[in-house]
Chain A
Amino acid sequence: MPINRNSLRATTAVTMLALSFSAMANPDPSDWPAVQQAAEGQTVYWNAWGGDTRTNRYINWVAQQMQAQYGVDVEHVKLDDTGSAVARVLAEKQAGNGDDGSIDLIWINGENFAAMRESDLLFGPFAEALPNFTLTNAAANPEVVTDFTLPTEGYEAPWGKAQITFYYDSAQTDTPPQDMQALLSWAEANPGQFSYPRIPDFTGSTFLKQALIELTEQDEALYQPVSEADFEAVTAPLWAYLDTLHPHLWRSGRTFPDSGPNLRTLMSDGELSLAFSFYPTDAAVAVMEYELPESVRSYVLEGGTLGNVHFVAIPYNSPHKAGAMVLADFLLSPQAQAQKQSLAMWGDRSVLDIAQLDADTQALFEQGERHPAELPADALSNTLPEPHPSWMTALQEAWLERYGVN
C-alpha cells in the first residue's frame, strides 16, 4: 500500500500536538479529587532554604507523611539562597522550557515573590482552592493573602509566620534596649557588641525597615510603591541614625555578619551580647542545641516588630503541579502546622486561625512548659506589617551606596 506521506506527516503533527497539550494541561485546583489522583506517584522537588537544621528536620518529616498519606515523593532541594531557585526558573524560561521545569514548589516570600509574579514565572491561582486554606480564616487574617503589601491572588499558599525577636545574654545585660533610640544608647555604652547582617541579606534588610518604621514620620508612604514617595525625605532620619550607630557596632561597622544565623554564631562566640532573629523561637532552640548559654532571654521591642507570613509557590513550568498542590495543602493541615510549631521540631508559628478550630484540633497546638529563652505567649501580639517590596530594594541600594565600601 502506497503511503501517503503528507497524511502521515499530518497525523504525526496532530498526535504530537495532542501529546503536548496533554502535557501542558494543568490540573484544575477546583477539582480536588482529580488533583489528588494525579498527584499520586509524582515526585515533588521542593526548593527550600537548607541552612537550618530545624527546617530540614521538619521538611524531612513532611516528606515521610506525604509518602505515607498520599503516595507523593517529596525531595527537599536545599538552597543556600532562595534567589538561585528564581534564577533557575528564569534560565528554563530563557531556554524555552515551558512545561518540564526542575522545580515544583518554592519556599518564598516578599521580593522574590514580587519578582516572579512580575515576570510571570508562577502557576496559579491555586492557593485559595486548597481544602485546608479555609482554616486560615483569611477574611479575618489578611496577612495570609498579602505578601509585603502585595495581594497574593492565589499564587502562593501561606505556610508559617515570622517576626523579629531580639535576644540577649541575661548574665551580661540587665536591661536590653526597648526601642531604636535606646538601642543607640545601649550600643554606645557597649561598643562592638551589637550588629545587623550585611545588606542585601534578608534579615539585615528587615532590620533597616524596622528602624525606618520607628524613625520616620511618614509611615503611610512605606505601604505604597517607593516611586510614589519622596525617598530622600522619608529615609533621611534612618541614615542619620545609622551614621551615628555604625561606629559603635561590632568591628565598628567596618564589616557586618553575613546572615541572620551568623548573628547567633557570634552570640555563641561571645562577640555579641545582643542579637535578633526572624524566628521567635530561635534563641530557645539554639540553647537546646548547645549554641547559646542558658542565660539567654528573648523579647520584642515595645513598639512592636516587623512580622510577615512566608509562603510556598509553584513555578509556571513545574511538571508536578498536582503533587505540589497536595503538598501545599498538607502543609496547611492542623497536623502539619502543629508539628511545625512544636519547639522540638521547628518552632515556626502557625498560619491557621487556631481559635476557630474545634477543641480536639486546638489541643494539637498546646505546648508543654515554656522554655526560659522563649518569648511569653502574648509577646507577639504587636506585629508591624511589612512595607511594599519596592522599599526593600530601594533601601538595599541606598545602603550599599552609603556603606557598601568601607
Chain B
Amino acid sequence: MLQLAPALIIALLVVPVGAGLVMVLLPAFGYLPALGGHAASIAPWQMLFDQPGLWRSVSVSFASGLISTAIALIIVVLFLAASRGTWLDRGIRRLVSPLLAIPHAAIAFGFAFLIAPSGLVARLISPALTGWERPPDALIVNDPWGLALMAGLALKEAPFLLLMSLAALPQLAPEKHLMLARSLGYSPTIAWLKTVLPSLYPLIRLPIYAVIAYATSVVDMALILGPQLPPTLSVSILSWFNDPNISMRFMASAAAVLQLGVTLAALFCWWLLEQLARSLTRGWLINGSRQRGERALRMLGRSALLFSSVTALASLVGLGLFSLAGFWQFPDLLPQMLTLDHWQRSGPMFATPLLNTALIGLLSTALATALVLATLENEHRQHLRPKRALWLLYLPLLVPQIAFLFGLVVAAESLGIRPQLSLVVAGHLLFVLPYVYLSLSEAYRRLDPRWLQVARSLGVSRRAAFWRVRLPLLLASVLTAFAVGLAVSIGQYLPTQLLGAGHVTTVTTEAVALAAGSNRRLIGVWALMQAVLPLIGFVLALTLPRLLRANRRELAT
C-alpha cells in the first residue's frame, strides 16, 4: 500500500491539471463545438494580440512576480541574518503563523485602506500635519506600475518564506557554522550571509518558485491593489472568461495559455538570476571581508521585516475598525460611532459557509497530510532519496490556477461529475497537498534516525515505530503543516466557486461576492471571519503539543 502513495499523489495532482490544460488548449486553438468552433485556427491568438494594453498587462504580471518575490526574500534573509536570538526574533517567530494565516484578499483590502489617499495613514496625519480637509487626489492604490500590488504581495509572501526557512534551518546546524565564522572574526550578520545562506537557499528554492508562480498569476490581490488600465493579465483573463459575449472564450483560453507562458518565463528568468547571483557573489563569499556592511545590513534586517509585519497587522486593524464603524468621514481617525450592526446583520449568514469552510478544510488537509506522511514514510523505509518525480507535486502551484481551472470544470462535467462538496474537496487537495508536503518533508527527513533504530532494536515493528515514536516526535511539525494546509484551503476562491458551481458556499466565496458590492464595513466583517478561522488552526497547532507534553510528564512522575 505504502509504495503506492507517491504514485497516487502524483496522479491526483497531475491528471486534473493536465486535463484542465487540455480543455483550455483546445479552445485556444479554435476548437469548442458548443460555440460552433470545429476547426483548428489561430484566430483566438490574433484577437488576443489585438487587445489594447496586452503587453502592459503581461509586463506588469511578469515584473510583479519577480520583484515582489525578490523583496520578500531579501527581507526574510536579512532578518534571519541580523536578528538571531534577539527579542525581535522571538516576537516575529510568534507572529509568522498568524500572518501566514490571513488570506491574501483580506490583507489586500486592509492594505488598500491603509495607504489610500483617504486611508488610515492619511487620516493619522490629517489635517494636523498636512492641512488636508479632503483626501488628496493621488494615484496610490491601482497605480499603473503595480507598485501597490507588489508591496501587498511582498507583505504576504514574507511570512511564508520565513516559515519555510525556519523549517529548513535546523538541519543546517547554523550555530556551528556561525561559531566558527565568528571565531575567525566575521561579524554576525556577515557570518550568517556567508556561511548559512548558501546552504539554506537550495532548501527553500521550491517554495520561492511557488511564490513567483503565484505572484505572476494572482487574481484576488491584483483585483484590489493592481493596475486597472490595463489590469494584470490574470484579471483580464477572468473578465474575458466571464464576458457576456461568450465567443470571447476562445480568446480567454488563448490568454490562459499565455499566462502559463508568462509564469514559466518568470521562473526561467529567476533561474537565470540565480546563476548570475551565484557567480557575482562567489568573489564576495571568499574575499575575507569580515565587517564591511555589517551595520547597514543589521539595521535593514531588523527593521524591514518588523515594518512589513506591522503594516500587515495595521491593515487588519483597519478592517476591524471598519467592521464596527458607523459613519466615518475623512479626516476622522476614528469612526464617529461604533456599532455591532454589521456583525449582527451578517450573523445569521455565517452558519452554512462556516460549516462548509471547516469541513472542506479539514477533509482536504487530513487527506493531504495522510498522503504526504505515507509518501515520506515509504521514502524512509525504502531508503530512497527524495524522488525526482516528486517535483511534479508542485505542478498545481507552478501552473497558474486561471490557466487550468476553467478547463477542469469542463473536464469534470464531461465525465458526468456534477458540482458537489467532494469535488470541491478534491479541488482543494490540488493546492493543499503541495503546501503540506513543502511544510512537512524537511522536518520528516531530518528527524534523528537513531530514535527509530532504538525503537526497532527494542523489537517494535515498523508500523508501531511509526505510530508510537515518529508521529509523537513530529507532532509539532505535523500540526504546523496541517495548519498551513488549512489556511491554504480556507483562502481558495476560484476552485471553490468553479468546481462547486456556487452550490458550496464558504466564508471566502461569500467574502468575494460581497466584495463586488464594495461595502467596506461588510468586507471588514467577512475578511475578519476569513482570517480568524485559519488562526484557530495555528493556535491549536502551537498549543496542542504543549498540552500533550504536559500530560505525558504527569504520566511519567
Mark A residues whose CB is within 8 Å of B: 45, 47, 49-53, 56-57, 60, 75, 77-84, 86-88, 90-97, 100, 102-103, 110-112, 114-115, 119, 191-192, 198, 200, 250-252, 254-256, 258-259, 261-262, 264-265, 268-271, 289-293, 393, 400-401, 403-406
Please indicate the chain A residues that have their CB under 8 angstroms from the CB of B503 in the complex: 45, 75, 77, 102
Q: Is B228 an interface residue (CB 8 A)?
A: yes
B518–A259 CB distance below 8 A: yes
CA distance A273 to B242 in the complex (A): 32
CA distance A84 to B33 in the complex (A): 19
Out of B135, B245, B516, name the residue touching A270 (CB < 8 Å): B135
Out of B243, B410, B514, B518, name the residue touching A50 (CB < 8 Å): B514
Q: Tell whether A51 pairs with B517 under 8 Å between CB atoms, given A270-B330, A405-B52, A405-B56.
A: yes
Out of B53, B244, B345, name the residue touching A112 (CB < 8 Å): B244
A83–B242 CB distance below 8 A: yes
- Chain A-chain B contacts (Cβ-Cβ < 8 Å), number: 200
A-B residue pairs in contact (CB < 8 Å), sample of 9 = A50-B516, A51-B516, A94-B413, A111-B245, A251-B139, A265-B518, A289-B519, A393-B244, A406-B144
Out of A50, A52, A92, A191, name the residue touching B137 (CB < 8 Å): A191
Q: Is B239 an interface residue (CB 8 A)?
A: yes
Q: Is B419 an interface residue (CB 8 A)?
A: yes
CB distance from A61 to the nearest CB of B (A): 12
B518–A51 CB distance below 8 A: yes
A90–B137 CB distance below 8 A: no
Q: Is B301 an interface residue (CB 8 A)?
A: no
B53–A404 CB distance below 8 A: yes
Q: Tell whether A400 pairs with B513 under 8 Å between CB atoms, given A84-B497, A111-B244.
A: no
Nearest to A110 among chain B residues (CB) is: B244
B413–A270 CB distance below 8 A: no
Query: 19 additional contacts, CB 8 Å, given A56-B349, A112-B244?
Result: A51-B515, A52-B517, A79-B516, A80-B515, A84-B241, A84-B497, A86-B244, A93-B34, A94-B33, A251-B138, A255-B227, A255-B229, A259-B518, A261-B517, A265-B520, A270-B135, A291-B327, A404-B230, A406-B229
Q: Is B329 an interface residue (CB 8 A)?
A: yes
Please indicate the chain B residues that have their CB under 8 angstroms from the CB of A270 in the complex: 118, 134-135, 329-330
Q: Is B86 an interface residue (CB 8 A)?
A: no
Provide the B43-80 mask, 1 if CB < 8 A to any CB of A, else 0.
00000000011001000000000000000000000000
A293–B329 CB distance below 8 A: yes
B510–A78 CB distance below 8 A: yes
Q: Is B488 an interface residue (CB 8 A)?
A: no
CA distance A51 to B509 in the complex (A): 11
A258–B228 CB distance below 8 A: yes
Please indicate the chain A residues that have their CB under 8 angstroms from the CB of B502 in the complex: 45, 47, 77-79, 102
Please indicate the chain B residues that have their CB under 8 angstroms from the CB of A97 in the complex: 413, 416
Q: Is B548 an interface residue (CB 8 A)?
A: no
* A192, A198, A401, A404: residue with the most chain B Cβ atoms closer than 10 Å: A404
CB distance from B31 to the nearest CB of A (A): 10
A90–B229 CB distance below 8 A: no
Please indicate the chain A residues that have their CB under 8 angstroms from the CB of B513 in the complex: 49-51, 78-80
Q: Is B481 an interface residue (CB 8 A)?
A: no
CA distance A50 to B520 in the complex (A): 15
CA distance A58 to B502 in the complex (A): 19
Mark B residues whose CB is within 8 Å of A: 32-35, 52-53, 56, 116-118, 134-135, 137-139, 142-144, 223, 227-230, 239, 241-246, 249, 325-330, 339, 341, 345, 349, 406, 409-414, 416, 418-419, 497, 501-503, 505, 509-510, 512-522
Out of B117, B229, B326, name the residue touching A290 (CB < 8 Å): B326
CA distance A198 to B412 in the complex (A): 34
Q: Tell whether A81 pairs with B144 under 8 Å between CB atoms, given A50-B513, A252-B137.
A: no
CA distance A292 to B116 in the complex (A): 19
CA distance A51 to B517 in the complex (A): 4
* B35, B137, B223, B326: residue with the most chain A Cβ atoms closer than 10 Å: B137
Q: Tell whether A290 pairs with B325 under 8 Å between CB atoms, given A269-B116, A401-B52.
A: yes
10 A-B pairs closest in CB distance: A51-B517, A83-B242, A95-B413, A51-B516, A77-B502, A50-B513, A102-B501, A192-B137, A405-B53, A78-B513
* B56, B327, B513, B514: residue with the most chain A Cβ atoms closer than 10 Å: B513
Out of B230, B239, B497, B522, name the residue touching A405 (CB < 8 Å): B230
A87–B139 CB distance below 8 A: no
Please indicate the chain A residues that have their CB under 8 angstroms from the CB of B239 in the complex: 81, 83, 200
Please indicate the chain A residues that have their CB under 8 angstroms from the CB of B144 in the complex: 254-255, 406
Nearest to B35 among chain A residues (CB) is: A119
Please indicate the chain A residues that have their CB under 8 angstroms from the CB of B339 in the complex: 290
CA distance A60 to B345 in the complex (A): 12
Please indicate the chain B residues that have their CB under 8 angstroms from the CB of A269 in the complex: 116, 118, 135, 330
B34–A256 CB distance below 8 A: no
CB distance from B263 to the nearest CB of A (A): 22
Out of A80, A87, A111, name the residue touching B512 (CB < 8 Å): A80
CA distance A292 to B327 in the complex (A): 7
B139–A255 CB distance below 8 A: yes
CB distance from B557 to the nearest CB of A (A): 56
CB distance from A47 to the nearest CB of B (A): 6
A250–B242 CB distance below 8 A: no
CB distance from B510 to the nearest CB of A (A): 6
Nearest to B504 among chain A residues (CB) is: A77
Please indicate the chain A residues that have their CB under 8 angstroms from the CB of B243 in the complex: 83, 200
B137–A102 CB distance below 8 A: no
A251–B137 CB distance below 8 A: yes
CA distance A252 to B411 in the complex (A): 45
CA distance A252 to B53 in the complex (A): 19
Please indicate the chain B residues that have their CB under 8 angstroms from the CB of A79 in the complex: 502, 513, 516
CB distance from A226 to the nearest CB of B (A): 13
CB distance from A190 to the nearest CB of B (A): 11
A87–B413 CB distance below 8 A: no
CB distance from B20 to the nearest CB of A (A): 12
CA distance A259 to B228 in the complex (A): 12
CA distance A80 to B329 in the complex (A): 27
CA distance A53 to B143 in the complex (A): 29
CA distance A56 to B516 in the complex (A): 13
A405–B244 CB distance below 8 A: no
A403–B35 CB distance below 8 A: no
Nearest to B136 among chain A residues (CB) is: A192
CA distance A56 to B34 in the complex (A): 33
CB distance from B402 to the nearest CB of A (A): 13
Please indicate the chain A residues that have their CB under 8 angstroms from the CB of B516 in the complex: 49-51, 79-81, 259, 261
Please indicate the chain A residues that have their CB under 8 angstroms from the CB of B118 in the complex: 269-271
Please indicate the chain A residues that have their CB under 8 angstroms from the CB of B521 in the complex: 289-291
CA distance A182 to B39 in the complex (A): 53
B330–A255 CB distance below 8 A: no
CB distance from A84 to the nearest CB of B (A): 5
B242–A87 CB distance below 8 A: yes
* A80, A251, A258: residue with the most chain B Cβ atoms closer than 10 Å: A80
Nearest to B143 among chain A residues (CB) is: A255
Please indicate the chain B residues that have their CB under 8 angstroms from the CB of A291 in the complex: 327, 519, 521
CA distance A47 to B242 in the complex (A): 14
CA distance A46 to B310 in the complex (A): 42
